[in-house]
Amino acid sequence: MPCNLSYFYITVRVHYIHYVPIMSANDKQYISYNNVHQLCQVSAERIKNFKPDLIIAIGGGGFIPARILRTFLKEPGVPTIRIFAIILSLYEDLNSVGSEVEEVGVKVSRTQWIDYEQCKLDLVGKNVLIVDEVDDTRTTLHYALSELEKDAAEQAKAKGIDTEKSPEMKTNFGIFVLHDKQKPKKADLPAEMLNDKNRYFAAKTVPDKWYAYPWESTDIVFHTRMAIEQGNDIFIPEQEHKQ
């Protein structure tokens, strides 16, 4: 895979083998591009405290927020933050129908991943920001973080680095999502991350509803009109611009 691009375009396939409650049309919240842009804007100042060295976007919902966020993280005289993307295939079997035994857990596989050698990407000692659009069941975020932590540990071991003795060489991970749904999660994130306002960033904490993002729309005019009617559009007043 060529590495002369800012990031790679890949997709996520998630296969669910359990029933999901059907939400009514009243539960569907339309989110506009303007809203996504401003959610990234208001989150950027906090994320700057994390000082990310690189961004890893989870496809497909993490692509656009990651690219918008990078604009607001840009600092004069500092190289542009590189964006990479990952793909996971998840097979959930948490509430299988017709089975006497409920299998608690998720089987995960890397469908496509970062080629660290080809991309000359070293995670050791870096601040890595993982980006996705929503923290829903937390399954994808949990496994993305777990797999990336393994990669970072393997890279440190290959270099002969003991991160316990040299804590400055430890890879620090942070997470940014547009929306964190208030609901029971099916997977966990480290408590030290969730309790650290400079490592876990959710632009908004929202009720457990259906959030429709603009990049999923087949009629962006209708989508945007609905977002405006629901109050999910511009929330920051227009700023004065210097000519």
**What is the pLDDT, as a whole number, of residue 25?**
61
pLDDT at position 88 is: 73
Q: Which residues contact 211 (CB under 8 A, 6 or more apart)?
A: 29, 31, 133, 134, 179
124 phi/psi in degrees, rounded to 5: -60, 125
Task: Give residues with Cβ within 8 angstroms of 71, minimum separation 6.
Answer: 40
Token pair 């999923």 is found at 216
231-237's contacts with Cβ under 8 Å and 24+ in sequence apart are: 232/29, 232/30, 232/31, 232/32, 232/35, 233/32, 233/34, 233/35, 234/32, 234/34, 234/35, 234/38, 235/35, 235/38, 236/38, 236/41, 236/42
Domains of the chain and CATH, by start: 13-18+50-205 (3.40.50.2020)
Residues taking part in catalysis? 136
| pLDDT tens by residue, the chain, 243 residues | 445 444 444 344 444 444 445 556 668 999 999 999 999 999 999 999 999 999 999 988 999 999 999 999 999 999 999 999 998 766 654 444 433 333 334 566 777 899 999 999 999 999 999 999 999 999 989 999 999 999 999 999 999 999 999 999 999 999 999 999 999 999 999 999 999 999 999 999 999 999 999 999 999 999 999 999 999 999 999 876 554
> What pLDDT does 111 receive?
79
pLDDT value for 106: 56
> What integer pLDDT is reported at residue 57 of this predicted model?
96
List the structure tokens of 151. Answer: 């990669």
Residue 190: how many CB atoms within 10 A of its CB? 15
